[in-house]
Amino acid sequence: MSQIGSFALLLALALSTYSFLAGILALARPGPGSERLGETARRAGIATFAVVFLAAFILVISAFQDNFSIAYIFHHSNRDLPAPYKFATLWSGQEGSLPFWSLLLSAYGLVLRLRHKTDARLFAYASAIIAAVQIFFLLLLNFAAHPFALMQGELPADGAGLNPLLQYPEMVIHPPMLYLGYVGFTVPFAFALGALIMRYPGEKWIHITRRWTMVTWAFLTCGVFLGAHWAYSVLGWGGYWGWDPVENASLMPWLTGTAFLHSVMMQEKRGMLKMWNMWLIFATFWLAILGTFLTRSGIISSVHAFAQSSIGGWFKWFLVLTLVTFTFFFFKNKSHLRSEHKLESLISRESSFLFNNLLLLLACFTVLWGTWFPLISEYVQGNKVTVGPPFYNNVAIPVALLLLLLTAVGPLLAWRKTSVESLKRNFMWPALGAIAVGILMMVFGVRPWKDISYFYALMAAMLAALVGLTVTSEFIRGGRVIARHTGQNLLASMVHLFHRNTRRYGGYIVHFGVAVVIIGILGTPFNQDKEKEMGFGDKMTIGPYTLVCESYTQDDNPNYSNEWAIISVFRGDRKIETMYPERRFYKASQQPQTLPRIRSSYKEDLYLTYEGVNEATGRPIIKAHLNPLVMWIWVGVLIMIGGTVLALIPNAAPVRVTAPARIQAAPVGAGD
């Protein structure tokens, strides 16, 4: 089996190399036979998918067959590992996740190459660029991190097991989502670079990749937040975002990708910001590669150091190579990227996009800076320092608040020019609403002067309200215009409005989702926690809840042994739930893990962890967290994803107004 896998990887490398070389040759020397050469290049690209798929398939089959002669399977699986996690071995370690990257890239490449008739030449360029990226990953797989490397010496009886932190349902979907996002940005990048190299007339490549970018963005969003949810439900420290270097690595391409999604509209509609967009999509692609590198190389220590090795050098060279290649073509064909229009007014959608981009990039820079500062510090002053949550919270929160303000104001601005009066008029009601929210919060005990975090919470709540209200008012205002023309009622008009421009109004729904996520995050300053040793019948109160320890016990199964407590949760005198915080000890990997239990409601999460046992008394130590509003984060993400899906729906035809005769009656050439 493993020989077939190794062969498949080698063949895939040969195929993608052929696809790349033949592809550029056919494009560089048009003439008799170049079409046929180009077609073989395209087909080699398609075949790459089949062959990489075969390799990945063999890896998964080997995991299911407990083929521990393959070192990778030995290190990431064991006989008693539940089936879904065996499937997930494909991405749980570095040698596996790289074929997975490669598989996803070739799958995206497959779709692209099958649809080449849309614009054969542009697609051929994109296909060659994707093949080039593919070559890098296949080189890594064949020569640096071979997934089918065999165990040396005697064959082990059982595998070393999967890291227990990864034995959680979300771990089966979080990495694929994130990777779909990371890899997906290769496609718009390939089209952008292709269009630049061939000096493609017009902005059709944006149109072609528009949905692609949005889907990719949705995957990345999903991946980032699934990661946060995983951290919340598995790591057991009661939080969801620790500004860990690898979390940061997934956030950076998300930030630049979000910036690109916005600013590319300026290019599509107005032919502006062409150079900027080129850099932005390159940065997103580059940061996605960097993210993979950070996750997989272990250069910066992190909770994600599941996989560490020496592939760093390869990645560094690849990052440098892509940068040099891109820079070369950028300067070579810069004249192709000249702007077509000037900026008409400071108060316009265009300038709001500029500031949006500035802030998103600033956030990205801050994250990048914080992630690398320990290394810089070591270089400059000889000692590492920690750049942890206090740093990011102090810097990122103000930036996030400013962004939220822009999110609220942006939709009120028209393209090109907006009058100050209309802005004032349209902004007044949402602003009053936001102020009302602020006053209400202060009435309910949020004292912004007491602590900076309360101030932030108050601002975030007001701005989130502002976003929600401006989005609503945009829907109503637009709906009224439609209603005037069609005579439908307001609701039907709003649906109609949405169908006219799904991207815009779907985007507004995404904005609304962001506001809801912010509401969830702003609960953080109000978190409480308590820890107590709890014997039979012992009580602990936290917030409105009283916890009573009913019992504690232990158990054993082939995969792990575990201890847990049975805790009754009371609210007042009423028992509302029984919770079972647990601790496991995984046998194969010899690692312990805490399993928090969470009771979610729209108001707050009650989060219990089994911290351990007091050796002296034999009684368990239970830690309780009370985290307000956390559920809204997940709800908000669902809204964001829903909004993106809605934005993918094709637009309906524009409104046909019921008076064409009058216009047609205008005589041709009436103006002279």
Cα–Cα dist 197/125, whole Å: 8
Of 146, 174, 583, 597, the one binding other proteins (CB under 8 A) is 583
Taking CB under 8 A as the rule, does residue 592 contact other proteins? yes
* 212 and 109 Cβ atoms separated by less than 8 Å: no
Q: By three-state DSSP, how is residue 560 classified? A: strand
Taking CB under 8 A as the rule, does residue 428 contact other proteins? no
* Nearest residue to 417 via CA among 343, 356, 490, 482: 343
Taking CB under 8 A as the rule, does residue 3 contact other proteins? yes
Compute the least distance from the CB of residue 663 to other proteins, in Å.
5
Count, residues near other proteins per rule CB under 8 A: 126
Of 170, 215, 229, 239, the one binding other proteins (CB under 8 A) is 239
Ranges of H-type helices in 487-570: 490-500, 502-521
Interaction with other proteins in 646-665: which residues (CB under 8 A)?
654-657, 660, 663-664
Compute the least distance from the CB of residue 609 to other proteins, in Å.
6
Taking CB under 8 A as the rule, does residue 156 contact other proteins? no
Q: Are strands 528-533 and 591-595 parallel, antiparallel or unpaired?
A: unpaired
Q: From the CA atom positions of the chain, what is the Rg in Å?
A: 28
Q: Residue type for 146, please?
A: H
Compute CA distances 81 → 339, 476, 533, whole Å: 57, 54, 33
Q: Which is nearer to other proteins, 216 or 562 (CB)?
A: 562
Q: Which is nearer to other proteins, 327 or 528 (CB)?
A: 528
Of 149, 156, 301, 487, the one binding other proteins (CB under 8 A) is 301
Q: Residue type for 476, please?
A: I
Cα–Cα dist 614/662, whole Å: 88
Q: Which is nearer to other proteins, 179 or 560 (CB)?
A: 560
Interaction with other proteins in 199-228: which residues (CB under 8 A)?
200-204, 207
Taking CB under 8 A as the rule, does residue 417 contact other proteins? yes
* 444 and 484 Cβ atoms separated by less than 8 Å: no
Taking CB under 8 A as the rule, does residue 354 contact other proteins? yes
Q: Which range, of 39-47, 178-186, 436-444, 631-639, touches other proteins by CB under 8 A?
A: 39-47
Cα–Cα dist 635/207, whole Å: 30
x/- binding map, residues 457-496, to other proteins, per CB under 8 A? --------------------xx-xx--xx-----------
Of 244, 582, 604, 605, the one binding other proteins (CB under 8 A) is 244
CA atoms within 13 A on the CB side of 374: 14
Q: Which is nearer to other proteins, 4 or 436 (CB)?
A: 4
Q: Which is nearer to other proteins, 57 or 330 (CB)?
A: 57
Interaction with other proteins in 359-388: which residues (CB under 8 A)?
361-362, 365-366, 369-370, 373-374, 377, 380-381, 383-388
* CB-count burial class (<10 Å; 0-12, 13-18, 19+) for 449: exposed
Cα–Cα dist 595/491, whole Å: 46
* Alpha carbon distance, N-terminus to C-terminus of the chain: 81
* Nearest residue to 146 via CA among 5, 47, 294: 5
Q: Which is nearer to other proteins, 66 or 119 (CB)?
A: 119
594 Cβ contact list (under 8 Å, min separation 6): 236, 581, 582, 583, 609, 610, 611
Taking CB under 8 A as the rule, does residue 47 contact other proteins? yes
Interaction with other proteins in 59-98: which residues (CB under 8 A)?
none
Q: Which is nearer to other proteins, 612 or 642 (CB)?
A: 612
- Give, for 124, the enclosing helix (H) or strand (E): helix 120-143
Of 80, 158, 268, 538, the one binding other proteins (CB under 8 A) is 268
Q: Which range, of 65-73, 90-98, 389-397, 597-605, touches other proteins by CB under 8 A?
A: 389-397
* Nearest residue to 396 via CA among 234, 225, 247: 247
Of 593, 606, 607, 640, the one binding other proteins (CB under 8 A) is 593
Kindly state the tokens that stand for 356.
Answer: 């949006």
Compute the least distance from the CB of residue 182 to other proteins, in Å.
22
Interaction with other proteins in 497-526: which residues (CB under 8 A)?
none
